[in-house]
Amino acid sequence: MGTISFTVNGAPVTVDADSGMPLLWVLRDRCGLTGTKYGCGIEQCGACSVLLDGHLEKACDVDAGEVQGRSVTTVEGLSPDLSNRLQQAWIAEQVPQCGYCQSGMLMAATALLAQNPRPSDSAIDGAIANLCACGTYPRVKRGIKRAAGIL
Amino acid sequence: MIRRRGGTTTLDALDEMTGLAKADGFSTKEFSRRGFLTSALGAGGALVVGMQLAPGLGLLERAGATGAGGVLGVYVTIGADGSITLTCPNAEMGQGTSTALPMLVAEELMVDWAAVRMVLGGYDPALNRPANGTTLGTSQSTGGSTAVRSYHDYLRNVGATARQKLIWAANAIDPSIPISDLKADNGRVLRISTGAVVGTYGDLAATAVGMNPTDVTWVHPPYRFIGQPMTRLDLPAKVNGSAGFGIDVRVDGMKYASVKLAPKVGQTVGSVGAAPAGVQVVPVPGGVAVVTDGSTWHAIQAARSLPVTWVDAPTTASVDSTLMRAQADQLLATGTTLATTPVVGDAPGVLAAAPLNQKFTGVYSTPYLAHATLEPMNATALVTDSTCEIWAPTQVQTKCVQAAAAITGMPVGAITLHTTYLGGGLGRRLETDYVKQAVTVAMAVRGTPVKLVWSREEDFTHDVYRPCSLVQMDAAVDGSGAITALKARIVSPSVRAYQGSLTPGTADASAADGMVNAVYNVPNRLVEWIQDPSPVPVGWWRSIGVSQNCFVLESFLDDIATQTGQDPFQLRKNLCNQGTEIHRRVGTVLDRLRAESGWDAAPPSGYARGLALCVGFGNTVVGMVAEVAGAFGVGFKVGRITAVIDPGSVVNPDTVRAQIEGSVHQGLQAALWQQMTFTGGTPDHRNFNTYRMGRMRDYPAAVDVVIVESGAALGGVGEPGVPPVAPAVTNAIAKLTGFRLRGLPIAAQAGPTPPTTTTTVAPVTTTTTRPTTTSTTRATTTSTTRPRTTSTTRATTTSTTAPLLGGPSIKTFTPSSGGVGTTVTLTGTNFTGATSVTIGGVAAPFTVSGSTRITFRIPTGSRTGKISVTTPKGIATTRDTFSVGR
pLDDT tens readout for residues B270-297: 999 999 999 999 999 999 999 999 999 9
Q: Tens of pLDDT along B330-377?
A: 999 999 999 888 899 999 999 999 999 999 999 999 999 999 999 999
Q: Is the ipTM of this complex over 0.90?
A: yes
Considering the domain architecture, whether residues A12 and A59 belong to the same structural domain is answered as yes
- A77, A105, A131: which is the final residue of a domain? A77
User: Nearest CA of chain A to the CA of B660: how many Å?
Assistant: 9
CB-nearest partner of A94 from B92, B231, B248: B231
* pLDDT score at B755: 56
* pLDDT score at B780: 30
CB-nearest partner of B240 from A78, A125, A130: A78
Q: Say yes or no for a CB contact (<8 Å) between A97 and B658.
A: yes
Considering the domain architecture, whether residues A48 and A102 belong to the same structural domain is answered as no
Q: Say yes or no for a CB contact (<8 Å) between A136 and B658.
A: yes
Considering the domain architecture, whether residues A66 and A100 belong to the same structural domain is answered as no
Give the burial class of B857: count Cβ atoms within 10 A of its Cβ; 0-12 exposed, 13-18 middle, 19 or more buried: buried
**Per residue in A85-122, is it b (16+ CB within 10 Å) or e — as a string?**
bbbbbbbebbbbbbbbbbbbbbbbbbbbbeeeeebeee
Q: What is the CATH number of the domain that holds A58?
A: 3.10.20.30
Considering the domain architecture, whether residues A92 and A29 belong to the same structural domain is answered as no
Considering the domain architecture, whether residues A65 and A109 belong to the same structural domain is answered as no
Give B775's DSSP letter: G
Residue B240 touches chain A, beta carbons under 8 Å:
yes
**Per residue in B36-47, is it b (16+ CB within 10 Å) or e — as a string?**
ebbeeeebbbeb
- With a cut of 90, say whether residue A30 has pLDDT above it: yes
Nearest CA in chain B to A26: B295
Enumerate residue ranges in chain B where pLDDT < 70: 1-69, 754-807, 873-874, 886
CB-nearest partner of B235 from A36, A38, A96: A96
Nearest CA in chain A to B373: A133
Q: Give the domains, in start order, of chain B with CATH numbers.
A: 4-238 (3.30.365.10), 246-314+377-453 (3.30.365.10), 321-368+465-747 (3.30.365.10), 795-886 (2.60.40.10)
Residue of B95, B98, B245, B297 to mutate when probing chain A, most A C-beta within 10 A: B297
Considering the domain architecture, whether residues A99 and A123 belong to the same structural domain is answered as yes
- A48, A77, A106: which is the final residue of a domain? A77
CB-nearest partner of A91 from B236, B373, B375: B236
* pLDDT score at B69: 66
Query: Hey, what amino acid is at B626?
Result: A
- Rounded-to-10 torsion of CA B83, B87, B88, B89: -170
Q: Is the dihedral of CA A118, A122, A125, A126 positive or negative?
A: negative
* pLDDT score at B730: 98
Q: Indicate the average pLDDT of chain B.
A: 86
What is the rounded distance in angstroms from the CA atom of residue B119 to the CA atom of residue A148? 33
Q: What is the CATH number of the domain that holds A130?
A: 1.10.150.120
Q: How many residues are recorded in chain A? A: 151
- φ/ψ (deg, to 5) at B499: -85, -5
Q: Say yes or no for a CB contact (<8 Å) between A91 and B235.
A: yes
Q: Tens of pLDDT along A68-92?
A: 999 999 999 999 899 999 999 999 9
Which residue, among B721, B364, B749, has the nearest Cα to B559 in the 3D structure? B364
**Domain extent for A71:** 2-77
| Integer angstrom CA distances of residue B383 from B343, B409, B576, B581 | 51, 11, 56, 53
Residue of A76, A137, A139 to mutate when probing chain B, most B C-beta within 10 A: A137
Q: Give Dmax (Cα) for chain B.
A: 106
* pLDDT score at B791: 28
Q: Which of residues 287-316 of B touch A (CB under 8 A)?
A: 294-297, 300
Considering the domain architecture, whether residues A28 and A45 belong to the same structural domain is answered as yes
Nearest CA in chain B to A95: B235
CB-nearest partner of A25 from B250, B295, B661: B295
Considering the domain architecture, whether residues A73 and A105 belong to the same structural domain is answered as no
Q: Say yes or no for a CB contact (<8 Å) between A124 and B696.
A: yes
* pLDDT score at B764: 30
Considering the domain architecture, whether residues A94 and A131 belong to the same structural domain is answered as yes
- A42, A77, A112: which is the final residue of a domain? A77
Considering the domain architecture, whether residues A56 and A94 belong to the same structural domain is answered as no
Considering the domain architecture, whether residues A17 and A61 belong to the same structural domain is answered as yes
Considering the domain architecture, whether residues A67 and A8 belong to the same structural domain is answered as yes
Q: How many residues are recorded in chain B? A: 886
Q: How many domains would you assign to chain A?
A: 2
Nearest CA in chain B to A60: B297
User: Nearest CA of chain A to the CA of B375: how many Å?
Assistant: 6
